[in-house]
Structure 1
Amino acid sequence: MGASALNRPDSRDFARLFLADTPFIDTRSPGEFAEGAFPQAVNLPLMDDEQRAQVGLCYKQQGQQAAIDLGHRLVNGPVKESRIAVWRAFAETHPDGYLYCFRGGLRSRISQQWLQEVGIDSPRIIGGYKAMRRFLIQQLEASAQHRFIIVSGQTGCAKTRLLQEVANAVDLEGLANHRGSAFGKRLGGQPTQIGFENALSIALLKRRHASPQAAIVLEDESRLIGRIAVPEVLRESTMRAPLAVVEMSLAERVEHTFHNYILQNLSDWQTHAGDVAGFAAFAEELRQNLATLQRRLGGHRHSQLLSEMNAALVAHVRGNPEAHRAWIEPLLRDYYDPMYAYQLGLKAGRVVFRGSYAEVSTYLGEAH
């Protein structure tokens, strides 16, 4: 695949690139990438963090040309060959890909030139990460002016699953890798705030592009999803949006909670760490999650629930996971339900529909 085969121009058509899930080579240093990136980007840096720091210091003290010369000395010989090898492998696997650095400057031009020397055409993104990030901030502000329908309901109403079945929905909890409650941690940790905002802006852009006139469906979230903050510009807009409320029996919600927070979480942990270590980590996480609610629950109620949780964990390890329902039900009924009822009461004027899971799903599918 030579440069003459594709000869694709460098681009600043950010909307097209994001809508197409274009693969990106991010040539920034690992530290820069860790602070915030795009969902479709892979970090294949020109310089590592230490090399970048050395070149940056040289630039400040001696100017651009001296910094360029130092960069070439640091990334030379086998190091240079290894950089080109991984870029080439990515470009051959993703012939529609683009590369960028922070501002679309020296690092991406050098990377592009080195690839051209081995016959690979890999166009750059003009303006780099900084310009794309600015574009996504602007798009997030534009998306906040769009119409929304917010799905609400008591804890355990399978709202996330409902959103995943609705064509014009964006799953905020999925993007934040957190279920949004004290028990909502997921393996893999959460993205950075910037990474979340980038992914959110892209998801909203796709929904607006696919159905410009249709309302976007979101779940009713608090300000924080785990440690990730819902951008204020979006939160202000959704706090005025109409609500569709899912109604489920306590028994149904206990069942959903049991399946997702017990069976699924344990499966994830054991896949990650093995059966024994996975169960131990799963059990400790449950206890820690309950501990975060101790002040709100009060000492006596927390002690009761912890005792029931520990008894359930003993039964579980002996082959009876069903015992977890003994603490899940009172936690939902006596803690989460009153809190939800109070919060929904503050939003009562925004409720436009109430119904079962299936009825809300049908309503959302027909809403425009």
Structure 2
Amino acid sequence: MRDNSDDYRSLFLTDVPMMDVRAPIEFGKGAFPGVLNRPLMDDEERRRVGICYKEHGQDAAIALGHKLVKGDLKAARIASWKAFAEANPNGYLYCFRGGLRSQLVQQWLAEAGVEYPRVIGGYKAMRRFLIDTLDEAVRDCPLQLVAGLTGTGKTEIITALDNSLDLERHAHHRGSSFGRHATPQPVQIDFENRLAIEALRVRERGARTLVLEDEGRMVGSCSVPLELFRAMQTAPLIWLDDSLENRVTRILGDYVIDMRAEFALQYPQSPEQAFEAFAAYLLGSLLRIRKRLGPEHFQALDQLMRQALEQQQRNDDVQGHRGWIEGLLRDYYDPMYAYQREAKEERIVFAGDRDAVIGYLQDGRSL
């Protein structure tokens, strides 16, 4: 059998398969990408063992655990661990601290004929490693932020670079009132873990700077880690320009065409229900900024949006959405971003279109 591992760096850089044997409630509060939850105890069993530990000590808690997980239940869980181990012979298992639970799973697997290694220190040690990894990246690598009006394609710049951190992708949110997707955002810890793993990989590729999109503290419900956000407040800005026509087309693709496709995937048996959910997403997103739009602008845009949705549902024509998108950009987002640009003018070190910005960030002038 391979040795148990405490080489967290290699585990994350090489996407080593891992089996998390914590209870589902623990897994739901924070985990690592791609990891499968195969618990030793379910939530209720864990709760009872925890109470026993507090009241009667470790030996009594262990005895209760063996009483709760036995017979057919124990056999079923061993079978699920064995299936994972056989499907992932290069993988590892872990519990919260790399202690009793993971050792017991190892023991029961060994008794079933499978020798399988565990991660020393468990979830807690790996989580600490990722927190430190992101803090070190922020400390050691100067940041550069891509800024610009809504719809200029800032995410496209981030995607094109090999030294970028994609906050919106890891948060599963586009960072605006229309930014949510058809599926939920990750919990905060999952967001932080994914971001730290990307930072680890970017630095492994030899990056000397980190490029991010200029974001607020919150990306939907996910909060940018504090040390990273503090560094972003003084980082130089690269301003991305594009025409209003191109921006409208890009937003039409992102918020109308792509979003309808996302909702269609969520309701594969009911196109009508999918469209209703999509329409509710658009109308609800506009409603969230009603106060900031003011009653007249809101009513005008709401009417344009409803007309566009009717046209789209009737004949699958999305072009009617251009009206409310252009109005939203011109009357809401552009004035807001113009104000923000004025406040940050001294930090802008370069401005240009997509190709110019990518060239600037790639050719060394930005270092």
**Aligned residue in 1 for 2:202:** 207
- Find the residue that maps to 1:152 and give its secondary structure: strand
**Aligned residue in 1 for 2:172:** 177
**Aligned residue in 2 for 1:303:** 299
Which of these residues, 219, 235, 245, is aligned with residue 239 of structure 2?
245
* Root-mean-square deviation over aligned CA pairs: 1.1
- Find the residue that maps to 1:288 and give its secondary structure: helix
- Find the residue that maps to 2:319 and give its secondary structure: helix
Note if contact 1:315-1:321 (Cα within 8 Å) is conserved in structure 2.
Answer: yes
**Aligned residue in 1 for 2:290:** 294
One-letter identity of the residue aligned with 1:225: V
1:161 deviates by 2.0
**Aligned residue in 2 for 1:154:** 149
Which of these residues, 318, 326, 331, is aligned with residue 329 of structure 1?
326
1:9 deviates by 0.7
1:152 deviates by 0.9
Aligned residue runs from structure 1 range 1-368, under 5 A: 7-145=1-139, 146-212=141-207, 214-273=208-267, 274-319=270-315, 320-367=317-364, 368=367
1:210 deviates by 1.4
Instruction: Quote the Cα distance in structure 2 between the aligned partners of 1:318 and 1:229.
Output: 40
1:173 deviates by 0.3
Residue deviations 1:304-359 (CA, integer Å, cap 9, x gap): 11011111111111122110001000101110011111111121112121111121
**Aligned residue in 2 for 1:3:** none
1:365 deviates by 2.1
What TM-score do the two structures reach when normalised by structure 2?
0.96
Residue deviations 1:158-214 (CA, integer Å, cap 9, x gap): 1112211211111110000001000000122111111111111111111112114x2
What TM-score do the two structures reach when normalised by structure 1?
0.96
Note if contact 1:167-1:365 (Cα within 8 Å) is conserved in structure 2.
Answer: no
Note if contact 1:257-1:328 (Cα within 8 Å) is conserved in structure 2.
Answer: yes
1:69 deviates by 1.1
Instruction: Quote the Cα distance in structure 1 between the aligned partners of 2:71 and 2:205.
Output: 48
One-letter identity of the residue aligned with 2:43: D
1:262 deviates by 0.1
1:266 deviates by 0.2
Residue deviations 1:245-293 (CA, integer Å, cap 9, x gap): 1100000000000011000000110121131111000001111100110
1:121 deviates by 2.5
- Find the residue that maps to 1:123 and give its secondary structure: coil
- Find the residue that maps to 1:248 and give its secondary structure: coil
- Find the residue that maps to 1:321 and give its secondary structure: coil
Instruction: Quote the Cα distance in structure 2 between the aligned partners of 1:187 and 1:304.
Output: 26
Q: Which runs of 4+ in 1 moved over 4 A?
A: none
Residue deviations 1:12-58 (CA, integer Å, cap 9, x gap): 11112111122111111000011111113111100000000011111
Contiguous gaps of at least 5 residues in structure 2: none
- Find the residue that maps to 1:149 and give its secondary structure: strand
Which deviates more from structure 2 when the two are superposed, residues 336-345 or residues 253-262?
336-345
